[in-house]
Structure 1
Amino acid sequence: MKIVLVGYGKMGKEIEKILVSRGHEVIGKATKDNPLSSEMVKNVDAAIDFSTPDSVLDNINFLITHKIPSIIGTTGWNESYDEVKHRIDTEDGAMVHASNFSVGVNLFFKLNEQLAKLMEPYKEYTPEMTEIHHTEKLDAPSGTAISLATDLLQNHTQFNDWYCPQNDKKSKSGNKLKIEAVREHDVKGTHTISYQSKIDTISITHEAHNREGFALGAVISAEWIQNKKGIFTMKDVLALS
């Protein structure tokens, strides 16, 4: 495959390594100083976007317009999801989007759903969530934590929303699941979901040791989306739906 990378930070460089190791070619690297252009996306098989929340929606719309299958790992555009989906559906676009492309994390998503269903009848257990990332991470809570919270809330009726003390959405009034967002030096990403009672605690944790898992999942998604139309997630790529 011929690939354009949108964003060329630490993740972009890790993705490039895996693309090359799997026999693919990076033919363009879009950055703030070298934005996407029609010339850059000529004859490409896919674009992989790990850019920034303030640029991702413009990137998505550019790639749909130019009919480039897209792998979107940047978060922060959920409010525009319906609009993006409509464009993809009506213009025969193709996209895989995920808050986290790690195969392990997506298995963890499934485990979280199953645990929430299992714990639902036991009201003496209160769910909580903690996510830990490096100090350079701009958003809090992480997109992965929001995905985990959304899945938990859909399968467990104790709460109807979430809040995060480190986020604008910090009010805990009403029935809300707490997400604690911690920032520490050089942490790749740790997510823990706990069910606490007066007598014990049940917890599940996913800890990323490096960025390779995220990058590999993005490359696998780019390989998978070839000749497909529609909007997909890693559940589709890994047949976890």
Structure 2
Amino acid sequence: MRREISEVKPVETKSRENYLDSSVRKAFERLQEGKTERAENKLDSSVRKSFEKLESHSTYEKRLQQKMENPEKDLQKLVGEYLKDLKSKSECAETIPDKPFEVSNLEKRTPEENAKMREEFNDNKTQLKREWEKINGLQWPKYKKDIYSASGNLIRKAGSDYDAHHIQPLGMGGNNEARNITPLNAEVHYDKQGIHALGSPYSKLDQALGGTQI
């Protein structure tokens, strides 16, 4: 006896061959070809819903596979957006190379490793700034006025040096070298403002490497 289409029940979307008999597959092929009148008579609503789940699952798998196959391409795009944002916020944008580091050199450091690198930077900050000045033929900028945080607290005094931002951030594998630092005003560098803002290119790059939003 011929099996009725209504007997075919929707199941989990793993494989077409596991639950779609030949008559259903042929009917769906007709749907894809635009022969809807004939095909819709053969496909009841439950089967169509199962196929919609299957097609949705298949599309998701394809997108996931494409993302897995191009991780470096995705990182390269994020790096480009981060550098563009950094240059737009810098008063010394001309000193920032278009390709200051290789994407393949990006790595997420542990909090302990990052703290150690930060301590090393603090010990050598003045020397690194002087080296930066020699390399770029410029003086490290100084604040012309007091700088206050968004909450109204004084964070930088007039006459003090601009903040030093690591172009390849320490937490992403960057090193404490003169060529890897650039002056930034605290208004676009302090805490979660500017370059470090939630949802910024910097933040997205950090998350892509396994970090959490700062």
Query: Shorter-normalised TM-score: what interval?
Result: under 0.3
**Rg larger in structure:** 2
TM-score in terms of structure 2 length: 0.23
Structure having the higher helix fraction is 2
The structure with higher relative contact order (CA 8 Å, sep 6+) is 1
Structure having the higher strand fraction is 1
TM-score in terms of structure 1 length: 0.21
